[in-house]
Amino acid sequence: MAEPLISTAVIGHEFGPYDVTIVGERATAYSAAVGGDESPDYGDTLAPIIIVAAALTELIDDLGLYSGGLQTVHAGQEVSWGRAVYIGEKVEARGKLAANSIRRGNHFATVTVSYTDGNGAEIGTSSTTIIVTGEQS
């Protein structure tokens, strides 16, 4: 089996762009997950965290963290958001590996992500730190 990308990627490695446009069905599923009727009414806008989560899913896949034998822990998350985003509005995410090191046998990786709208304007950023154990690297 090929080595997961997290074992070989160097700082600065770029990910994406990913289309993280959230359509109505996914927005509805998100609302049901977090609280349904108990949640704030966002109207036709989205909670930014679901856009970040959609990008994170793509990143985890590209980093090879679904590979067998890897034990992955989502250790930290930062999100900064600039404006409301509408359901179905085009959003792209571009990631960059900001840190990738091994300490005490655990692999620490941090990926920063920039989110842009259909005009290419940045509307948010995020940073995800992941710890991988059980990896022979």
Partner 1 sequence: MITRSRSVGDALAGFERLIAQDRVNDYASASGDHNPIHLDEAYAATTQFGTRIVHGMLSLALVTEMLAAEFPNTWHSGGKIKVRFNAPVIPGETVTAYGEITSIDETDHGRIVTCNVGCKKPDGTDAVSGRATIPLE
Provide the binding-site residues for partner 1, judged by CB under 8 A.
Answer: 22, 25-27, 29-30, 32-35, 38-40, 42, 45, 47-50, 52-54, 56-58, 60, 66, 71, 73-85, 133
State in angstroms the smallest separation of the CB of 53 from partner 1.
4
Q: Please, are residues 95 and 15 in contact by the beta-carbon 8 Å criterion?
A: yes
CB nearer partner 1, residue 83 or residue 90: 83
CB nearer partner 1, residue 50 or residue 113: 50
Exposed (0-12), middle (13-18) or buried (19+): which is 136, by Cβ within 10 Å? exposed
DSSP 12-65: T-EEEEEE----HHHHHHHHHHHTGGGS---TTB--HHHHHHHHHHHHHHHTTT
CB nearer partner 1, residue 28 or residue 101: 28
State in angstroms the smallest separation of the CB of 50 from partner 1.
6
CB nearer partner 1, residue 8 or residue 80: 80
State in angstroms the smallest separation of the CB of 20 from partner 1.
9
- Residue 4 dihedral angles phi and psi, to the nearest 5°: -65, 150
Instruction: For residue 73, list its beta bridge partners.
Output: 131
State in angstroms the smallest separation of the CB of 10 from partner 1.
25
